[in-house]
Amino acid sequence: MLAQLLPSLASKPPPKRREVRRTDLFESQARAIQPDAQRLEAQIRSVVSALQRAADLWPPVPGTKLRIVKTDPFPHAPRLRVFFTIDEDDDCTMRYLELMEGPAAEEDL
């Protein structure tokens, strides 16, 4: 899903990059997942890059300020679900992190 959204950005002028923060909860979840997930930090960096450029591509969960980005399946890298908020035009915060188990759902590809 992430890879499908980003090519559309190539035809637009470069957007202003947002600052992406991580909550303490997000950091503790990453530390807990790290021993079992190869290339976790690389996957997180790809999410940060996407959020810096285009966080508003992911719609809010109805009734909340939370948005969800899911990483693409990738060899030797975990599939992640990252919950985040857009706090201001220039800032967003990654708030929660989950490993996605099992094969990718069709709507996630």
DSSP-assigned beta bridge partners for residue 92: 20, 86
pLDDT by residue (tens digit) across 54-104? 999 999 999 999 999 999 877 777 889 999 999 988 899 999 999 887 655
Domains for the chain: give ranges and CATH numbers: 18-101 (3.30.2310.20)
The H-assigned helical ranges of 1-109 are 2-5, 24-33, 40-54
- pTM of this prediction? 0.77
pLDDT by residue (tens digit) across 1-55? 555 555 555 566 665 789 999 999 999 999 998 877 778 888 899 999 999 999 9
Task: Report how far Cα 55 is from the mean position of its chain's Cα atoms.
Answer: 9
> How many Cα atoms occupy the beta-carbon half-sphere of 72 within 13 Å?
11
Instruction: Report whether 81 contacts 1 (CB < 8 A).
Output: no
